[in-house]
A and B are shown apart, each in its own frame.
Chain A
Amino acid sequence: MAEKIRVPVGILFSRSGSYAGPAGQGYAGALSAIEAVNADPESRFELRPVVADPGGNTDRYAPLARKLLVEHGVKHIVGCTTSWSRKEVIPVIEKTDALLWYPCMYEGFEASENVVYVGACSNQHVLPILEFAMPAFGDKGFLVGSNYIWGWETCRLAREVIGRSGGVVLGERQVSLGDTDIGHIVEEIRRKRPDFILNSLVGPSSYAFLKAYRALGEEDPDFLPARRPVLSCNFLENEMREIAPAYEGNFTTAIYFQALETADNRAFLASLDPALVDGGISACFAQAYASVLLIRAGLEAAEQATATAQLEAVKALRPSTPLGPLTIDPATNHLHAPVHIARGTADGRYAVFHHSREAVAPDPFLSRTPLTVGARQTPAPARLRIVP
């Protein structure tokens, strides 16, 4: 057998800090995929992970990315969870022909030619979850988010879509990353009785909120998820396990769920370390895994070329991944992806019940996406009725 060609791949995730939950999934997903590629006798490449851990400190991303590119000669980095950290890496990577594979859902409004966005953007998460929830539960929303760009923009867009669709936002609260003092938010929700709560909190803040909201539902059945559910675009399987059964009955949208009943996904899960599978395999895991498979496809197609030229080659293919066969949008480097909606179960899993009929084209600048959804009008109290 011919000697395999060694290719270093940068892995840049914060495995400690306030968003270690999703970042740990990205890390494990990338490493699992590298292991799988290396074990594949068909592969001409041996991928060598070069791991860097910024520890949740945004200021460490740019120097570590530079180190991966310059000292380790890396042409592909799989990494970043928050948009802040990605924005730190972009100026470094744009000076080179290298690529950042960003395996996370995010708020859009970006299309760097050196970044591949291997996750959903707003028209693939906020829009579909509101499209599902407003007709089903009503048009009065409450928004909670972490106090940085993901939370801000998710809440801003939700406010616009709810408003344009004839609904109202009864309240909006932002919480500092890592802050778990959220009793006052649950109290406000108790008073205002929204039809749904859109939760874009990250990490421990989210867990604290979901547990407190669950407790409210146990105390007053009017706040059970069947009546006033929590919706999320970024709540992961591994996080749900941790706080089970707190997410029971609430709803999440993603372009990958562990519970997807496809042949691709069954084979993928069967190939993984059972301990990892037990802990929960999330979209962040699968998207990082898919990123490595896409890197491999690019190497197979154009090994000698620059990373950006390899990406152009991958765009002409539809490589098979745990998310299904993936198309990378030629203009924006975002994914054409099917969108799923799932409900949390008591034992900390997801039950997927809704799939988009086909892959949803990415629209990171929301240029072409109608920002309205069909809403079910909930009767307002008589004194609040405004007669035109």
Chain B
Amino acid sequence: MTGAFTTPSFEGLKALLLHREHANTEALERQFARIGVRVTRVWPELEPGLGFGDFDILLFDADMGYDGQFAWAPGEAPMPTIALIGSEAPGRVSWAAAHGADAQMLKPIGSSGAYSALVIATHAFARRKALEQKVETLIGRLNNRERLAEAVAVLMVRHGLSASAAYNRLRRSAMEARVTMDDAALRILDETGAGEEKSSGL
């Protein structure tokens, strides 16, 4: 069974709704109640004693919202976000987009839309987090390329090897020690950096 076939359940989730009191927010609260999501509505900012960390999902007003409402830089919301869009003036829509809204709902809000927005926002958020993770790993690897080259050079000098033989030796030692190439390279550089010429077993 793949994830594509599972019925999402939002029962018990806590949503933060950043919007002034309005018929739209009442309609939204009714929709969320039907699917078991508890809504806390605040405007314009969180009251003392409440933190964004207390919530699983954020809905914010794209019409009257402003940067200072959020505790993070644009696009870095630590939870799925849904923009509530009234005016489709490009300035407001771009602002909501810059804040990395994972999904959107258009006002006026009637009796549908919240469920699909939740499904899309949670999917988009999961994808966003997975991508961030991947980018972090890749940046780490990129940074390590220099180390890798340095470690190969150390092995060439130390053992009088060709570049490819030194590379193979590094790879073999990584495999034997069951660590990544990066970690194996780091070990060699650490030894060299400490200025000790004792045998590393390589």
User: Using a CB–CB distance below 8 Å, which chain A residues touch chain B?
Assistant: 90, 94, 109-114, 156-157, 159-160, 163-164, 331-332, 364-368, 371
Contacts and interface: CB of A to CB of B under 8 A. Distances in A.
B10 interface: yes
Nearest to A113: B111
Contact of A367 (B5, B9, B30): B9
A157 B6 CA distance: 8
Nearest to B6: A160
15 contacts: A111-B111, A111-B112, A112-B110, A113-B110, A113-B111, A160-B5, A160-B7, A163-B1, A331-B30, A365-B115, A366-B7, A367-B9, A367-B11, A367-B34, A368-B9
A176 B146 CA distance: 60
Interface majority SS on A: helix, strand, loop or mixed?
loop
Contacts of A160: 1, 5-7
A159 B36 contact: no
Interface residues of B, number: 17
Contacts of B35: 365, 367
Contact of B7 (A111, A331, A371): A371
Contacts of A364: 34
B110 A365 contact: no
Interface string B101-115: 000000000111001
Q: Which has the most chain A C-beta neighbours within 10 Å: B35, B36, B115?
A: B35
B149 interface: no
Interface of B: 1, 5-7, 9-11, 30-31, 33-36, 110-112, 115
Contacts, number: 47
A163 B11 CA distance: 21
Given A111-B31, A111-B34, A112-B110, 13 more contacts: A110-B112, A111-B112, A113-B30, A113-B111, A160-B5, A163-B5, A331-B33, A364-B34, A365-B34, A367-B10, A367-B34, A367-B35, A368-B9
A360 to B, nearest CB: 17
A163 B36 CA distance: 25
A332 B34 contact: yes
Nearest to A112: B111
Nearest to A333: B111
Nearest to A94: B110
A371 B1 CA distance: 14
A367 B114 CA distance: 14
A364 B35 CA distance: 9
A373 to B, nearest CB: 14
A268 to B, nearest CB: 31
Given A163-B1, A332-B34, A94 B9 contact: no
B63 to A, nearest CB: 22
A374 to B, nearest CB: 18
Contacts of B33: 331
A164 B1 contact: yes
B53 to A, nearest CB: 24
A61 B1 CA distance: 37
Contacts of B115: 109, 365
B1 A112 contact: no
Contacts of A114: 111
A161 to B, nearest CB: 9
Nearest to A111: B34
A362 to B, nearest CB: 10
Nearest to A329: B34
B181 to A, nearest CB: 34
Contacts of B11: 367-368
